[in-house]
Structure 1
Amino acid sequence: MRLVVGLGNPGKEYERTRHNIGFMVVEELARRQGALLKKKFLFPARVAKCRIGEQEVRLIEPTTFMNHSGKAVWGAMRKWRADPEDTVVVYDDVDVAFGGIRVRAKGSGGSHNGMKSVLEWLQTKGFPRVRVGIGPKPAETDMIKFVLGDFPEQEHLKLEKVVERAADAVESILSVGTERTMNEFNQLQIG
């Protein structure tokens, strides 16, 4: 069993914000598989069951709000007895230029509060992640306003392609592993 978790905030007002690109990627994966994300009551998340390649997968969107995402990830891992290395986390990264995708096998959460929560709940850095670039943040712009803001028009025109390529990266991790996926996607820049 593999878990794919997209980080974001629940609610209509956050749907198309930079901080919700993790949700957008999970929704693209669900669309590709004809799967429907449904609310779970054992832990705070929306979940879809599907197969990606040979893997049985649960697609997960925490409903805890970004800064408490770890609770939902931990709950899902417990329910399906998934190990950290079987869990792929997808999230926005202000330190990666818009259109960039960075795949890592492990590491810190940087300045991302959602990832900090996941790391705190899981007590390990050893799980693959797909960082989707939303940067750079203009120096004069407040971080919260930036990540909770909508994409500007010039980025919005490319957003669908960025989400599709990030979903491709997740599928690649599930089929050929993190190392090969890093080699293919880490130099990729859409735009």
Structure 2
Amino acid sequence: MRLVVGLGNPGKEYERTRHNVGFMVVEELARRQGAVLKKKFLFPARVAKCRIGEHEVRLIEPSTFMNCSGKAVWGAMKKWRAEPGNTVVVYDDVDVAFGGIRVRAKGSGGSHNGMKSVLEWLQTKGFPRVRVGIGPKPPEMDMIKFVLGGFPEQEHLKLEKVVERAADAVESIFSVGTERTMNEFNQLQIG
């Protein structure tokens, strides 16, 4: 089983914030596959079942809030017996410029509290991730206000393209592997 987990915060007030780009990418993948994300009984996430290429995939949006994302990712991996290498985590990254996408096969959580939680729960760094650029944060702005803030009107069209491109990267990981996907996607910057 393959999993795609988008990190974000549940609730209407967070829907279009920078911190919910991971959810936006999962929703784009669900839209492409004609899948519907539904709240699972006794499981802290919205989940959809679909196929990406030849793989059966569960698309997951944890409802545990960002800083506790690891609990839902760990629970999903146990429930669907997914290996770390078959679990792709998609999340926002303030250290990547808006429009940039960075694919990695493994690594640290950097300054991202959601990824820190995932790493703590999984006890491994060895899973692919798609980092979606939301930066840079203006120096005078508080980090929490920045990531929980919405995108300015002039960035909405670009945001749509970035989300589509990040979804392309996830599909590419499943079709050609993480290394080739890194080579194709990491140099691109959506203008």
SS at match of 2:102: strand
Deviations 1:82-118 (A, max 9, x none): 1111100000000000000000000000000000000
For structure 1, the 5+ residue unaligned runs are none
User: Conserved in 2, the CA contact under 8 Å of 1:98 and 1:155?
Assistant: no
For structure 2, the 5+ residue unaligned runs are none
- Structure 1 segments, 4+ long, off by >3 Å, are none
Mapped to 2, the partners of 1:186 and 1:45 lie a distance apart of 29
Instruction: Kindly state the Cα deviation for residue 184 of structure 1 after the two structures are TM-superposed.
Output: 0.2
Q: Which residue of 1 aligns with 2:51?
A: 51
Q: Which residue of 2 aligns with 1:75?
A: 75
Instruction: Kindly state the Cα deviation for residue 40 of structure 1 after the two structures are TM-superposed.
Output: 1.2
Deviations 1:53-93 (A, max 9, x none): 00000000000000000000000000011111110000000
Q: Which residue of 1 aligns with 2:119?
A: 119
Mapped to 1, the partners of 2:126 and 2:83 lie a distance apart of 10
Instruction: Kindly state the Cα deviation for residue 154 of structure 1 after the two structures are TM-superposed.
Output: 2.0
SS at match of 1:92: strand
Deviations 1:13-40 (A, max 9, x none): 0000000000000000000000000111
Deviations 1:97-154 (A, max 9, x none): 0000000000000000000000000000000000000000000000000000000122
SS at match of 2:120: helix
User: Conserved in 2, the CA contact under 8 Å of 1:5 and 1:60?
Assistant: yes
Instruction: Kindly state the Cα deviation for residue 156 of structure 1 after the two structures are TM-superposed.
Output: 1.5
SS at match of 2:141: coil
Instruction: Kindly state the Cα deviation for residue 157 of structure 1 after the two structures are TM-superposed.
Output: 2.2
The normalised TM-score by structure 2 is: 0.99
Instruction: Kindly state the Cα deviation for residue 52 of structure 1 after the two structures are TM-superposed.
Output: 0.5
Mapped to 2, the partners of 1:41 and 1:143 lie a distance apart of 34
User: What is the percentage of aligned positions where both structures have the same residue?
Assistant: 93
Mapped to 2, the partners of 1:134 and 1:153 lie a distance apart of 14
SS at match of 2:170: helix
Mapped to 1, the partners of 2:7 and 2:177 lie a distance apart of 21
Instruction: Kindly state the Cα deviation for residue 43 of structure 1 after the two structures are TM-superposed.
Output: 2.3
Instruction: Kindly state the Cα deviation for residue 41 of structure 1 after the two structures are TM-superposed.
Output: 2.5
Q: How many residues align?
A: 191
